[in-house]
Structure 1
Amino acid sequence: MTSFADAVTETDTGVRIALDVSAGAKKTVFPAGYNEWRRSIRCQIAAPAVGGRANKEIVRVVADTIGIPQSSVAIASGATSSQKSIQIIGKARADVLAVLKPLLGT
């Protein structure tokens, strides 16, 4: 069985998280599970994928969950896709995994 840690990779400036996003959900939930096939963490966003609203909500919920300012979170790739890569600046992989592990129940 693959671990959710495969979705989190170290970069020169921080960490990248692979996300599998469902926009227009009943409520916003991050993390909402792990997709083993895509090796990505699931993220449900209540905002619709219109006018960048879902992307703004993703940045907000990821920043709130990790406990960092929104200015430290950016969508690195997949701005118009349900599969996104999120860049977190200034955090170590171990720190992000320590936050996500209890939330994913692993």
Structure 2
Amino acid sequence: MIKESREGTILQIIVKPNSKETKIEGIDEWRKRIKISVAAPPVGGKANRELVRFLSKLLNTEVKIVRGETSREKDILIKNLKIQEVKEKLGI
């Protein structure tokens, strides 16, 4: 779900595109991933851009998709933040 890396923290998420609003839904216990709804369609990278924008603003740091560009399951690199800081800012 959340792992430490050399560059920051890796957040393992599952994305639900085409939602009414962009928000953190909670934790998918079965997949061991954080569920995030995104208010953008999964067309032409729109959902990915919305996800990165949302997390960058929420965490106030650089965010990058490192795995899963075309999948609903993604690994996100959160630069310069430790696991505890990420958990506090995400409220998990």
Pair in the same fold by TM > 0.5 = yes
Query: What amino acid is the match of 1:97?
Result: K
Match of 2:46 in 1: 53
Partner of 1:98: 88
Instruction: Note the C-alpha offset of 1:95.
Output: 0.8
Aligned counterpart for 1:32 among listed residues 25, 30, 35:
25
Structure ranking higher in helix proportion: 1
> Which structure has greater strand proportion?
2
What is aligned with 2:35?
Answer: 42
| TM-score normalised per structure 1 | 0.82
What are the superposed Cα offsets for residues 30-57 of structure 1, whole Å, 9 maximum, x if unpaired?
A: x211100111100000100000000000
Task: Note the C-alpha offset of 1:65.
Answer: 1.3
CA-based RMSD of the aligned residues comes to 1.0
Instruction: Tell me, in whole angstroms, the C-alpha distance in 1 between the residues paired with 2:60 and 2:64.
Output: 15
CA distance in 2, matches of 1:44, 1:19: 10
Aligned to 2:64: 74
Structure 1: segments with no counterpart, 5+ residues: 1-6
Letter in 1 for 2:79: I
Q: List structure 1 runs of 4+ shifted beyond 3 angstroms.
A: none
**Paired residues, number:** 92
Partners of 2:26 and 2:83 in 1: CA distance:
18
Residue identity opposite 2:21 in structure 1: K
